C-alpha cells in the first residue's frame, strides 16, 4: 500500500509512475489527499478538545485548593460540555481512516525506474537467454499426449472428482512431482532459506496484507461460510508470518521457503494456453520469500534471480529471463523478472517463475517494520519468487527429454526419482 506522505510529496511523480502501469483512475489521488486533509482536521479538533479538557481538569483542583468554589464549578461545567464532543470526533476519525484505507488499497505499487512502459506480455524485454533448445526425434509429441502414453497424469478422472483443470498425478507422474518438490526445497535450504509448511487457507486480513485483495478477488477460491481464501501461492501465508511485527535490524534478512498446493480460478482462460498442464486450477509450487533491510532489497532481488536461474540450469532446460513492462506487472510489484522455459514439442515459451521486489508496498499493508540501531522504526522491504511452479516445468521436462520409448529424467533429479528415465 502506498503511503499518503508519498502522494503528498510529489503527486505528479506518482501519476507519472502509475501511468507506466496503465492505471486509469488518477482522480483517486486527489480524493485520497482531500480525505486525509479531512482526517487531519478531525484529529486536530479532537486533540484540541482533549487538551482543553485536560488543562481545565487540572485547574479544578487548584481552584478548589484556593477556595474558588464558584470558578471550580464553572470549570467542571465546561469540562462536562466538552466531553460529549470527543466520542463523535473519535467515530468520525475512525470512519475517515477506514475510508482512507479502502481508497489507498485501490492504488497499485509504483514501478521501479527500470520498468519499461508497455501494455502486455508482448512489450516485455528479454534480458538473458540460456541453455540449448533440443532437437527432438521424429514422432515427438506434446506433453498432453505423453502423459497418456506413459499413464502419469489423468485429467479425465481429475475432472470427475473435482472439475476441469484439476489433474490427477499418478504412478511415476506423482513421483516425478514429489521429486521436484524435494529437490527444490533442498536447493533452497542449502542457500540459507528456512523451510516452512504453512496453512493452505488464509483469512481476509492476510489476503489484504500481501495485496491479493481487493485486486485478485475474482481469481481466488473463497470459502464463504468461514470467510477464508484458498491460497494462490504460499507467498501469502509465509509473508504474513511477520504481519504486525517490529523486527530487530540484525535479524534481517529473513529468508523463507515453502511448498504448497496453489489454487487459482483462472477465470477467462481459454485456447492453446490451457492445454494439458499449461494452465490448471490446482498445482504444486515451491516459493522463496525474503524480508530485507530497505538498502538491501535490490541486491536481494539480483540474488533471487540468480538463484532461480541456477535451478533451471541444473534441470538442463532452455530458459530466458524477461523484465516485465508496466502493463504486465502484478498490482503489488515494484519490479518483476519472469522466467520462461522452452517447450520443444509445443514450440513455445512457458512461464515458470516470477521474481519480484515489492519495495515497502506489502510491508506497509502488513505493518511489518524493523527498529534500527538508533531506535528508529522503518518499513522493511519484501520480495518473493517461484522456485519453482511445477506444471510447466514438468511439461517442459517431459517434452524436451522424450525419446523413442522413454523419457529421460534430468541428472539432478535421478537420486530423488530413483531412476534415470520414465518408461512405458
Tell me: is residue 406 an annotated ligand-binding position: no
Is 264 annotated in a binding site? The answer is yes
Q: How confident is residue 288, by pLDDT bands cut at 50, 70 and 90?
A: very high
> Is 166 one of the annotated binding-site residues?
no
Residues 90 and 159 in one domain: no
pLDDT digits (tens, 9 = 90+) for 336-375: 999 999 999 999 999 999 999 999 999 999 999 999 888 8
96 and 22 in a common domain: yes
Q: What is the pLDDT of residue 216?
A: 82
In a domain? residue 115: no
- Does 266 show up as a binding residue in the annotation? yes
**Ligand-binding site membership of 46 (annotated):** no
Q: Is 265 annotated as a binding residue?
A: yes
The annotation status of 334 as a binding-site residue, yes or no, is no
Q: Provide DSSP, 293-333.
A: -GGGHHHHHHHHHHHHHHHHHHTT--EEEEEPPGGGS-TT-
pLDDT of res. 65: 84
**Over the stretch 198-226, which tens digit does the pLDDT of each residue have?**
999 999 999 999 999 988 888 999 999 99
Whole-number pLDDT of residue 267: 63
CB 234 within 8 A of CB 387: no
What is the DSSP secondary structure assignment for residue 200, as one 8-state letter?
A: S
Instruction: Say whether pLDDT at 138 is over 70.
Output: yes
* Mean local confidence (pLDDT), 67-93: 91
In the chain, % of residues over pLDDT 70:
98
Residue whose C-alpha is closest to residue 273's, from 121, 116, 119, 118? 121
Check pLDDT > 70 for residue 273: no
Per the prediction, the chain carries an average pLDDT of 94
Indicate whether 296 and 234 sit together in one domain. Answer: yes
The CATH number of the domain holding residue 242 is 3.30.930.10
281 is in an annotated binding site: yes
Are residues 129 and 97 located together in one domain of the fold?
Answer: no
- pLDDT of residue 271 exceeding 60, the answer is no
Task: Map grid coordinates 509445443 to a residue.
Answer: 346
Task: Work out the average pLDDT over 243-259.
Answer: 96
Domain closes at, from 104, 135, 157: 104
Please determine, for residue 68, whether its predicted confidence score (pLDDT) is greater than 90.
no
CA distances from 53 to 75, 77, 78 (A): 9, 11, 8
Q: Are residues 243 and 322 in the same domain?
A: yes
Q: Is residue 114 part of a domain?
A: no
For 66, the domain range is: 4-104
Would you say residue 35 lies in a domain? yes
Q: 353 labelled as ligand-binding?
A: yes
**What pLDDT score was predicted for residue 15?**
96
Q: Indicate whether 131 and 85 sit together in one domain.
A: no
298-330 pLDDT tens trace: 999 999 999 999 999 999 999 999 999 999 999
Q: Is the pLDDT of residue 129 over 80?
A: yes
Q: Is 280 labelled as part of a ligand binding site?
A: yes
* Residue 270: pLDDT over 70: no
* Domain-terminating residue out of 51, 78, 104: 104
Where are any strands of DSSP class E within 249-399? 254-263, 282-292, 319-323, 335-343, 348-357, 369-371, 377-379, 381-389
Report the domain count for the chain: 2
User: Does the annotation flag 71 for ligand binding?
Assistant: no
62 labelled as ligand-binding?
no
Element counts in the chain: helices (H) and strands (E): 13, 19
Do 135 and 53 sit in the same domain of this protein? Answer: no
CA proximity to 116, closest of 335, 351, 354 = 335
Amino acid at each position: 500500500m502506498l503511503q499518503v506522505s508519498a502522494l503528498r510529496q510529489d503527486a505528479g511523480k506518482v501519476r507519472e509512475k502509475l501511468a507506466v502501469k496503465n492505471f486509469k483512475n488518477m482522480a483517486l489521488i486527489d480524493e485520497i489527499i482531500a480525505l486525509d486533509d479531512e482526517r487531519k482536521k478531525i484529529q486536530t479538533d479532537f486533540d484540541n478538545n482533549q487538551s482543553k479538557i485536560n488543562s481545565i481538569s487540572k485547574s479544578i483542583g487548584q481552584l478548589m485548593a484556593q477556595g474558588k468554589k464558584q470558578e471550580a464549578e464553572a470549570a467542571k461545567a465546561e469540562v462536562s460540555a466538552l466531553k460529549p464532543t470527543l466520542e463523535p470526533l473519535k467515530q468520525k476519525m475512525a470512519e475517515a481512516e477506514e475510508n482512507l484505507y479502502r481508497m489507498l488499497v485501490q492504488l497499485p505499487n509504483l514501478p521501479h525506474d527500470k520498468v519499461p512502459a508497455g501494455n502486455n506480455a508482448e512489450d516485455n524485454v528479454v534480458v538473458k537467454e540460456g541453455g540449448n533448445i533440443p532437437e527432438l526425434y521424429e514422432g515427438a509429441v506434446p506433453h498432453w499426449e505423453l502423459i497418456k502414453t506413459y499413464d502419469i497424469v489423468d485429467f479425465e478422472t481429475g475432472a470427475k472428482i473435482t472439475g476441469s483443470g484439476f489433474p490427477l498425478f499418478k504412478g511415476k507422474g506423482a513421483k516425478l512431482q514429489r521429486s521436484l518438490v524435494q529437490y527444490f526445497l533442498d536447493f533452497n535450504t542449502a542457500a540459507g532459506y528456512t523451510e516452512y509448511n504453512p496453512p493452505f487457507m488464509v483469512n481476509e486480513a492476510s489476503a489484504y496484507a500481501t495485496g491479493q485483495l481487493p485486486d485478485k478477488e475474482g481469481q481466488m477460491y473463497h470459502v464463504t461460510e468461514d470467510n477464508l481464501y484458498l491460497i494462490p501461492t504460499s507467498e501469502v501465508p509465509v509473508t504474513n508470518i511477520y504481519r504486525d511485527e517490529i523486527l530487530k535490524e540484525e535479524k534481517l534478512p529473513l529468508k523463507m521457503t515453502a511448498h504448497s498446493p496453489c489454487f487459482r480460478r483462472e477465470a477467462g482462460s481459454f485456447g492453446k494456453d490451457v492445454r494439458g498442464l499449461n494452465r490448471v486450477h490446482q498445482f504444486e509450487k515451491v516459493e522463496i520469500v525474503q524480508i530485507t533491510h530497505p538498502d538491501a532489497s535490490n541486491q536481494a532481488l539480483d540474488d533471487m534471480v540468480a538463484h532461480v536461474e541456477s535451478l533451471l540450469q541444473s534441470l538442463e532446460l532452455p530458459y530466458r529471463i524477461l523484465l516485465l513492462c508496466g502493463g504486465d506487472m502484478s498490482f503489488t510489484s515494484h519490479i518483476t523478472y519472469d522466467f520462461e522455459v522452452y517447450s520443444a514439442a509445443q514450440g513455445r515459451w512457458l512461464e515458470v517463475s516470477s521474481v519480484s521486489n515489492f519495495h515497502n508496498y506489502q510491508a506497509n499493508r502488513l505493518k511489518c517494520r524493523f527498529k534500527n540501531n538508533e531506535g528508529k522504526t522503518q518499513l522493511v522491504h519484501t520480495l518473493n519468487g517461484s522456485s519453482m511452479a511445477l506444471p510447466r516445468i514438468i511439461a517442459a521436462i517431459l517434452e524436451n527429454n522424450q525419446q523413442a520409448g522413454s523419457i529421460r529424467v534430468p541428472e539432478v533429479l535421478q537420486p530423488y526419482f530413483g531412476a534415470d528415465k520414465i518408461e512405458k
